A = this chain, B = another copy of it.
Amino acid sequence: MGKFFDVALLFIIVLSIILVMLESVADLNAKYFWEFYIAEWLITFFFTVEYILRIIAINKPKKYIFSFYGIVDLLSTIPTYIAVIFGGHNLLFAIRALRLLRVFRVLKITRYVGESNRLLVALRNSRAKIIVFLFTVFIICIIMGTLMHLVEGEAGGFNNIPISVYWCIVTLTTVGYGDIAPITPLGQAIASFIMITGYGIIAVPTGIVSAEYTRYFNRPAPTNTQVCPNCNESRHLDDAEFCHNCGNKMNLD
């Protein structure tokens, strides 16, 4: 029963996101306005019931309401109601923004992803290094962007420093839209230098995460499941004969 509810919920979440996305397509919204309208209210009703049931079922409703999932669940429900209340007003942009908030329903899916926790741990461990790295990239972009603004001038689209910095980020991250591109030989030479630098330093965050992961894997080997019978310590070197925590003799398997 609980499993059926889970699958049904997952199905409705995916459906509701597809609905929000399709509603934004002008043609489809004009054609299927009423179908979208009814489906939207059915989903909102379902999520409202789910939200209320969760509050009733859980021991500490206050903790749930202010938790990550509680806020996500609320955000999944409330925009439809608010859009109705303020529907008569002319705050069109605000309404539209509110309605699009429904897209956060996608975060409801994260409940189903258990594996991601591990990934988050690995990312969190190398967070400080990656932030410093991205910060360095940003400083490089500001300096090189200013240089390109000076060299290229307005001919190649480098009208001001912010847009030159934007171009530099687009280039250094190897995205390369091509809407702004250097046209003077000197500008192209500097751009080449930036690109090759970007190619060289893209290795850094990868190396950090990779090393973090390798370290993570190398520590508790999956074949070494021995646990100290005295203190229940579980991380041991492969050839440990004594527990490194309490000095007890290990039972080797």
Contact = CB atoms under 8 A, between A and B. Distances in A.
B204 A185 contact: no
A215 B215 contact: no
Nearest to A197: B134
A20 B145 CA distance: 12
Q: How large is the interface on A (under 10, 10 to 19, 20 to 34, 35 or more residues)?
A: 35 or more
Contacts of A100: 146, 149-150, 161
Interface string A175-212: 11111010001001101100110111111111111111
Interface in A45-87: none
A195 B211 contact: no
A247 B228 CA distance: 12
A132 B106 contact: no
Contact of A136 (B26, B116, B192, B249): B116
A217 interface: yes
A137 B196 contact: yes
Nearest to A252: B232
B202 A206 contact: yes
Contact of A215 (B134, B139, B146, B214): B214
10 contacts: A25-B160, A134-B200, A173-B174, A173-B199, A176-B176, A177-B178, A178-B178, A203-B209, A236-B244, A241-B245
